[in-house]
Structure 1
Amino acid sequence: MTQRYLCVHAHFYQPPREDPRTGQIPIEPGAAPYPNWNERIYHECYRPNAELNNYERISYDVGPTLFEWLAAEHPDTLAEIVNADRRLVTRFGSGNAMAMPYHHPILPLASYLDKITQVRWGILDFEARFGRKPTGMWLPETAVDDETLIVLADHGIRFTILAPWQARAKHLDVTQPYRVELPQGKSMIVFFYHAPLSGGISFHPPMTINADQFVTENLLPVYQQEGAKRAEAKLILLASDGELYGHHQPLRQYFLERLLTESCRMNQIGVTYPEKWLQDYAVRRTVHIRQRTSWSCHHGVARWSTGCACTPGDSSWKNALRSALNQIAAEIDQVYEDTASKLVEDVWEMRHNYLKVLLGQVSLEAYLRQMAGKSLSVSEHQTLLQLLEAQFERHRMFASCGWFFEDFDRIEPRNAIAYAAHAVRLTELAGGVDLSAFAKQRLKKVVSPTSGLRGDQVFEQYRDTAFLTASY
């Protein structure tokens, strides 16, 4: 039996690209010859990897917002992605797909209740797509703290994947998963990816030209170096954005196929995935994690909060945007709680499970009647709908991409404010409280260092165009 194993994890995600005023993705000239980036990446990456059956060979997660787009535009490919997991469940009793928090937020920056909502929504979406409960969850930007792991454990998640520098350990053996002990007897298993090789395949294109050469020159030496004195099985996990294979690096879907078939076979390397590994091997090591850390910021999670040197230029707008949206969210939540609590006993549980309605698992009328414990009038029904839609928009505004790049004057942070504007408008319709002046006063401090565009100006563009994100 082989003692060397490889797992390639691919994180597939696209932010919401729809214009919040129309619900449609506008023409994006940079994506030519395709109408938008989703279509271009689909043809360069998502579809080609499905045609090669690569999804069955890797570990992967797919962002719910990307799944939603695929369901509308390319359902056949979506089915192939899902069926890859189902075939493994049938064959081994475990699948290779992982869930993801719904809107790709930086969870350590979110409140406890927001963590629950995002994790719950991500799990509900996963269950609707894959027909099973997830055992693993990918954390956006691998951003983590103990509270995040506790929420995952409370929802039945067994494992996640982190960068090695997120472990608080002098000597970390990345060929083995570790258990993080949490309060009240809870725990979370963490697989740490191999940083040099993961970075190499992501940012050094020559490394992924020839799969056979990659194994002999890069992978085999690692097995000899890592835990060389121990006879136990060794797992090397490579983690990257899934779009690497065909989009970021053209034609690398063929590299991935060759790597996980012939290249590994010729060198007696088994191909596996985290859930299968946990079926076959015990977790014997424990570790603590470094709080509020991530895989794509050298300053913890400052890239999405205070700003840092991870992005060039003046990043002070990030702190202003985070502060403004946090304050707006708090006001929206207060109106939500004050208004909904007159009709529903547990307003937060109503929010946590609202995705069941959006997924079509239960009708809105039945859901609201269940939460209220009685039939509602037309006006009461409308009020709760608007409050829940405001909550959905208010969660959308914290997608990580709003802070990832170097400037405020981009589609991602502008959309974050557009979602805030819609949430404010829906809150006014439901609760009779207009938070527009409050929001604009705080967003006025958000200024692009290049164009001078201000957050309050973006808010004004979208405030009066709010629409319900779903029809029932």
Structure 2
Amino acid sequence: MHSVVIHAHFYQPPREDPWFEEIEREPDAEPYHDWTARVAAESYRGVVAARVLDGEGRIRRVVNALAYTSFDVGPSLLAWLARRMPTVHDAIVAADRESRARVGHGNALAHPYDHVVLPLLGRRDKVTTVRWGIADFVRRFGRAPEGMWLPETGVDDETLDVLAEQGIRFTVLAGHQVTDAPPDGAPGLYTTASGREIALFVYDGKRSADVAFGGLLRDGRRMAEQLAEETAPADGDSADSGRLVAIATDGETYGHHHRFGDMALAAAVDILERDRRVRLENFAAYLARHPATRPVGIVAPSAWSCGHGVDRWRLDCGCRVEPGTQQRWRAPLREAVDGLTADAHALFEREGPAVLGDPWAARDRYEAGENGERGPLPRGAPTPDASEVRARALLEMERHVLRANTSCAWFFDDLARPEPRIVLRAAARVIELAGLVDADAAREMERRLLERLARARRATTPARERAATSTCAARARRVRPRSAWPPATPRFAASAPTRTRSCPRHGRPPCTDSTGISCGSSSGARGASGRSTCSSTCRGSRPARSTGAPASPRLVRSRWSPRSIRCRAARSRCGWRTSIRARSRCSYDRPRTTAPPRRRRSAPR
């Protein structure tokens, strides 16, 4: 008897708008609102309620396939499922609970909070995203994770050292990433430079490729036969041979990439579960019976989808989806994001101690829920003081800095795809939040970013250079909101961008105190009362309705802002603050499920 582990990696890019935390309507995802909703309907919903057919094509049973397969889900995707498809989210959590009752260990693996190639980050950023991922896992699954899936299986010695430091026992890598791997799929023991140990599993690359890109998912019975290995004795052997056959693919393979792939997976699981020759389990259960003892090495840095280390996410290494394309823009884009990350970290380290104490410890606790919710302030809440606004702006800036390193922007061939826009919008949000703390530093950060992005524009093809919407620098200018630094009021500093009327004397928007009254200054200097100490003739007036908003507020809308976000409530009864929250709630339109009624025609006379 040998063991079989089927692992599925579920992830979707963070498509949410950085200001509204809602996904824009994506027309190419019709009939669904966006691609996350479409993939969830085609894959995730089917995997947790997969149909198993009998010989006559009738449904024999419905199974939650994740209760029998190893899996990991990106925290950003889990958050979306909890909001939009709570039944699917609850089924994922229930699958882990059911697997613990069946084999003694949960099927779920943790995932870093952001889908970033960890070897390209500094140690502090690695620690933060791993801690955030562990905290999110504990909050949802109610237990500490035993293993963690690495985005793109990107690995180096420091990454494994961080995992071992945070209590992770094992991870899963591709065959070309591990040297001197034990035979028969057994895990190896890796010792980091600092002396920490972690177990490394290696998945079967050939079988995994047959499932993901071959025709193995066309027949669930054939898939089960490949994993059960027909060479084993037909009568079965109750003795544990210690052999492990493990495959790992993207979870979207089952249903989205391959239609009815979820049913093929369910059929294979149903057959393997009843096969006496195999034990269908997970990595943690196998590791408990067969501890890793044989020393192994790693190829560092490396990833499962690039044969040149991790150059796919920083250079034009030749890895591409479509032949005949070039990716010389990858290096300038990586340089721009790395430069923005360094600038933001320098500002965070300089300004953080005054309001956060130890800024890096405060950042590690932020997503763990110890600093409260990140959403807009509830209606009627008192206006926060300046120190609270600065602290929140700094922490949100760091959160978006990590999001700006999302790996999807560099994976594909074209700079004009939506994935680079995710990175650029996060970068624009970073600069805006930096302006709440230090306006001059924010302007300098923006200037440096645009200079670096201009090199990405020159690295594209001539046709792309002529198309302004396809150039990185032009897109960054359109993504960037036209808001003043600092924004007019601290109440909405972390919820939505605002702008005020320009000062005719200074040429810049006048600063506004916490009550929403313009003080007439563009310098932002304030006295003991909270008002500016300057004097000018460009004073505003108190709003007619006290909502905590500046005079004549309005939502900034650029070309790339979500057009579907609009308040459907009566404007006369909906205050400015309520309208912003209503926009984020009513912008999500589900696809039409029934045809519109036909218009009756009167009979001709």
TM-score by length of 1: 0.90
Once the two structures are superposed, the pairs formed by residues 3-402 of structure 1 within 5 Å of their partners are 3-51=1-49, 52-169=63-180, 172-204=182-214, 206-216=215-225, 219-220=228-229, 232-263=241-272, 265-266=274-275, 268-311=277-320, 312=323, 313-357=325-369, 362-363=371-372, 378-402=385-409
2-structure distance, mates of 1:10, 1:98: 10
Relative to its length, the structure with more helix (as a share) is 1
C-alpha displacement at 1:377, in angstroms?
7.7
C-alpha displacement at 1:211, in angstroms?
2.4
1-structure distance, mates of 2:272, 2:134: 35
C-alpha displacement at 1:439, in angstroms?
1.5
Summarize deviations over 1:31-53 as a string: whole Å, max 9, x none. Answer: 22222111211111111111131
Summarize deviations over 1:285-322 as a string: whole Å, max 9, x none. Answer: 22011101111011111110112211142211111100
Letter in 2 for 1:386: A
The answer as to 2:516 corresponding to 1:462 is no
Letter in 1 for 2:97: R
Unaligned runs of 5+ in 1: 225-229, 366-375
Asked whether the equivalents of residues 98 and 135 of structure 1 are also in contact (C-alpha less than 8 Å), the reply is yes
Asked whether the equivalents of residues 71 and 108 of structure 2 are also in contact (C-alpha less than 8 Å), the reply is yes
Asked whether the equivalents of residues 422 and 462 of structure 1 are also in contact (C-alpha less than 8 Å), the reply is no
Asked whether the equivalents of residues 157 and 193 of structure 2 are also in contact (C-alpha less than 8 Å), the reply is no
Asked whether the equivalents of residues 302 and 308 of structure 2 are also in contact (C-alpha less than 8 Å), the reply is yes
Q: Percent identity?
A: 34
TM-score by length of 2: 0.71
Summarize deviations over 1:51-77 as a string: whole Å, max 9, x none. Answer: 131010100000011111101101111
Q: Describe the shift of the 1:223–1:414 C-alpha distance in structure 2 as closer, same or farther (beyond 3 A).
A: farther
Q: Match of 1:451?
A: 464
2-structure distance, mates of 1:22, 1:460: 19
C-alpha displacement at 1:364, in angstroms?
6.2
1-structure distance, mates of 2:167, 2:174: 22
Letter in 2 for 1:41: V
Letter in 2 for 1:187: E
> Which structure has the larger Rg over C-alpha atoms?
2
Summarize deviations over 1:110-147 as a string: whole Å, max 9, x none. Answer: 11111011101111111111111111100000010010
C-alpha displacement at 1:362, in angstroms?
4.7
Aligned length: 449
Runs of 4+ in 1 over 4 A off after TM superposition: 221-224
Asked whether the equivalents of residues 212 and 263 of structure 1 are also in contact (C-alpha less than 8 Å), the reply is no
SS at match of 1:11: strand
Letter in 1 for 2:243: K
C-alpha displacement at 1:218, in angstroms?
6.3
Q: Describe the shift of the 1:465–1:93 C-alpha distance in structure 2 as closer, same or farther (beyond 3 A).
A: farther
Asked whether the equivalents of residues 224 and 269 of structure 2 are also in contact (C-alpha less than 8 Å), the reply is no
2-structure distance, mates of 1:88, 1:465: 51
SS at match of 2:309: coil
CA RMSD, Structure 1 to Structure 2 (Å): 2.3
Q: Match of 1:412?
A: 419
Q: Match of 1:403?
A: 410
Unaligned runs of 5+ in 2: 50-62, 234-238, 375-382, 484-492, 497-580, 582-605
Letter in 2 for 1:396: R
SS at match of 1:180: strand
2-structure distance, mates of 1:377, 1:25: 28
Higher mean displacement: 50-59 or 306-315: 306-315
C-alpha displacement at 1:334, in angstroms?
0.6
SS at match of 1:324: helix
2-structure distance, mates of 1:115, 1:438: 25
C-alpha displacement at 1:438, in angstroms?
1.8
Q: Describe the shift of the 1:92–1:231 C-alpha distance in structure 2 as closer, same or farther (beyond 3 A).
A: closer
Q: Match of 1:371?
A: none
